């Protein structure tokens, strides 16, 4: 078993981003700038946004966290997004999900200028991604591709099974792995909660991308010997054994599955760290105008 070490890869890529950000500052007289909007007081969301802001600081970006109470109206939120869209000093703009029930996430996503959509969720970015055109790729799938690339894993001709069809991870991941690119050129099966015989599908996979949001859903008995296992799951459970008061578990039973896998990501220390890298790279590209000039 070889570890797909998100800590190692992310630190190396962030060092490259830091150097590029310093060159951008020298050339442009300002830093790449990411704005994150957080609505409400969801503990996990607050943790994620704080991590994004901290990582911006580490690589030399400017970052702004705008925090609204849960009762903000959809209209006021969209008005703020439009204001940030028009601000030439803002390169990347993200609205942390999930949002309160009275706010339609699709309307919010579509309100963001696709040229500042560094989360890669806007329909224009998703459409361009499907056609293999320059775009901002959703940060988690982008991070996974960067990890596979770093380790030089040749995915061409392999059978990939993606477990989970979310617009954030599962669906874009299935498209990216099937594209005529590297990493890519896989035969892809996209499975989800309604898939019949889902375990038999996983057992056929050379690559498993687990993004279904269920603790230890992928067990050793449904994994083929030598499979590449990418665990996107972040399942929080209360714990008295940690300072934070909770413990993170993946969608994969790492202890069992690692003995059969050729490559595997840990949780924590795997895909989550690469998601941040994907976001930082998108933000840098947005600042440089290298995707949309």
- Whether 224 is a known active-site residue: answer no
Structure tokens belonging to residue 257: 């599955």
Alpha carbons 268 and 260: distance in angstroms, whole number? 20
DSSP codes, 123-160: HHHHHHHHTT-S-PPPHHHHHHHHHHHHTT---TT-EE
Alpha carbons 181 and 130: distance in angstroms, whole number? 12
- Whether 215 is a known active-site residue: answer no
Alpha carbons 126 and 131: distance in angstroms, whole number? 9
Alpha carbons 143 and 120: distance in angstroms, whole number? 12
Q: Are 252 and 267 in contact (CB under 8 A)?
A: yes
Alpha carbons 126 and 114: distance in angstroms, whole number? 10
Q: One of 14, 91, 116, 119 is an active-site residue; which one?
A: 119
Partners of 237 in beta bridges: 247
Q: One of 80, 91, 96, 117 is an active-site residue; which one?
A: 96
Alpha carbons 228 and 44: distance in angstroms, whole number? 28
Instruction: Put residue 60 in one of left, alpha, beta given phi > 0 → left and psi -120 to 50 → alpha.
Output: left
**Dihedral angle of Cα 142, 279, 59, 50, to the nearest 10 degrees:** -130
- Whether 52 is a known active-site residue: answer yes
Alpha carbons 30 and 92: distance in angstroms, whole number? 14
Please list the active-site residues.
Answer: 52, 96, 119
């Amino acid at each position: 078993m070889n570890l797909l070490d998100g800590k190692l890869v992310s630190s190396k890529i962030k060092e490259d981003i830091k150097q590029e950000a310093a060159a951008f500052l020298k050339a442009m007289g300002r830093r790449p700038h990411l704005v994150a909007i957080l609505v409400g007081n969801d503990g996990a969301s607050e943790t994620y946004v704080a991590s994004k802001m901290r990582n911006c600081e580490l690589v030399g970006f400017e970052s702004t966290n705008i925090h609204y109470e849960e009762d903000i109206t959809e209209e006021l939120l969209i008005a703020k997004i439009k204001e940030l869209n028009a601000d030439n000093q803002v390169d990347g703009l993200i609205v942390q999900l999930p949002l309160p029930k009275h706010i339609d996430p699709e309307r919010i996503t579509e309100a963001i200028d696709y040229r500042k959509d560094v989360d890669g969720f806007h329909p224009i970015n998703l459409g361009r991604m499907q056609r293999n055109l320059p775009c901002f790729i959703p940060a988690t799938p982008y991070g996974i591709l960067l990890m596979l690339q770093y380790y030089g894993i040749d995915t061409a001709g392999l059978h990939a099974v993606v477990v989970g069809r979310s617009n954030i991870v599962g669906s874009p991941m299935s498209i990216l792995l099937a594209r005529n690119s590297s990493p890519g050129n896989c035969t892809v099966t996209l499975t989800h909660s309604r898939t019949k015989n889902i375990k038999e599908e996983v057992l056929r996979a050379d690559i498993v991308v687990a993004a279904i949001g269920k603790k230890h859903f992928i067990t050793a008995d449904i994994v083929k010997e030598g499979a590449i296992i990418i665990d996107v799951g972040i399942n929080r459970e209360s714990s008295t054994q940690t300072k934070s008061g909770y413990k993170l578990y993946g969608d994969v039973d790492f202890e069992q599955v690692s003995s059969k896998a050729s490559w595997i990501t840990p949780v924590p220390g795997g895909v989550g760290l690469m998601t941040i890298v994907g976001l930082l790279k998108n933000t840098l590209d947005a600042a440089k105008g290298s995707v949309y000039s």
